[in-house]
């Protein structure tokens, strides 16, 4: 089984930024199949374009743009790339960096797909930082990475205490993110009173149902910006927004600037 050293991934490296204890890599995947292997460091993989299938000893992930995976230290896996242009970025961190910051391992046990929309939006910000690096990029990316790991740990701790119906509710929102979901719909699916659903969801996820749905929609929209055939109106409707102005307003609120600027940023 191949052992992959820090900063190396299968494909053509477009950009690599090395800092003390962690490394960012942007890669065009070129291998149709990569046999079982493992990496020296723990790392996140974020798919920017194309498709990828990844399998480990427990699960198999079918990845599309916007998929975020976490790989633990020396976790073995394999990759299959369909015949399509595929690109991803990675941020890896050493064991010593992790220990130095006294971060908890409870939220990053094993390897898994990251679903939390706010965590994924933070990873987009890490990617944004990588595009035009300057003397403050290192501290900015490290700050975002620490926040990302802390959020995963916090969510994992809360997840253990959540009733099963809340997970069902969250999954339903992910599956129907571009639909007009109502409390009445959730009440039927969960067989619970709408008031109870509304109150407990807000208490457990620190936001209301509408805000959570908007975060998912914006996170899903980011994966569509690489497709130049899609207009901003197309993206807005595909992600469940009733009109482009609502999409523009929500996008700017969560990302910090408008979708037109974001598309220009990606293609610069």
CATH H superfamily, domain 164-267: Homeodomain-like (1.10.10.60)
DSSP 223: T
DSSP 81: -
Cα gap 263→171, rounded to integer Å: 29
- CATH number of the domain at 2-157, please? 2.60.120.10
Q: Do the first three CATH levels of 2-157 and 164-267 match, i.e. the same topology?
A: no
Domain ranges, ordered by start, for the chain: 2-157, 164-267
Top pLDDT among 56 and 212 is at: 212
pLDDT of residue 176: 96
pLDDT of residue 6: 74
Which residues, at least 6 apart from 222, have a Cβ–Cβ distance to it below 8 Å?
A: 66, 121, 124, 255, 262
What tens digit of pLDDT does each residue of 32-81 get?
Answer: 998 888 788 888 999 988 889 998 888 899 998 889 999 887 788 889 99
| Percentage above 90 pLDDT, the chain | 46
């Amino acid at each position: 089984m191949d052992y992959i050293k820090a900063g190396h991934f299968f494909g053509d490296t477009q950009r690599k930024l090395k800092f003390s204890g962690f490394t960012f890599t942007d890669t065009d995947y070129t291998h149709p199949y990569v046999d079982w292997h493992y990496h020296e460091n723990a790392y996140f993989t974020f798919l920017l374009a194309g498709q990828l299938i990844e399998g480990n000893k427990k699960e198999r992930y079918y990845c599309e743009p916007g998929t975020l995976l976490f790989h633990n230290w020396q976790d073995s896996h394999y990759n299959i790339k369909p015949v399509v242009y595929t690109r991803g970025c990675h941020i890896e961190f050493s064991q010593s960096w992790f220990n130095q910051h006294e971060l908890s391992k409870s939220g990053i046990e094993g390897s898994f797909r990251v679903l939390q929309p706010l965590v994924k939006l933070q990873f987009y910000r890490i990617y944004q930082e990588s595009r035009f690096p300057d003397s403050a990029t290192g501290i900015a990316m490290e700050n975002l990475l620490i926040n990302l790991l802390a959020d995963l740990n916090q969510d994992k701790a809360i997840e253990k205490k959540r009733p099963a119906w809340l997970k069902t509710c969250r999954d339903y929102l992910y599956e129907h993110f571009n639909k007009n979901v109502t409390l009445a719909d959730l009440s039927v699916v969960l067989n619970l009173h709408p008031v109870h659903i509304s109150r407990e969801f807000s208490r457990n996820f620190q936001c209301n149902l509408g805000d959570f749905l908007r975060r998912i929609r914006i996170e899903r929209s980011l994966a569509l910006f690489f497709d130049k055939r899609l207009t901003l109106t197309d993206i807005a409707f595909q992600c469940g927004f009733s009109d482009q102005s609502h999409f523009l307003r929500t996008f700017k609120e969560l990302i910090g600037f408008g979708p037109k600027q974001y598309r220009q940023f990606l293609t610069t």
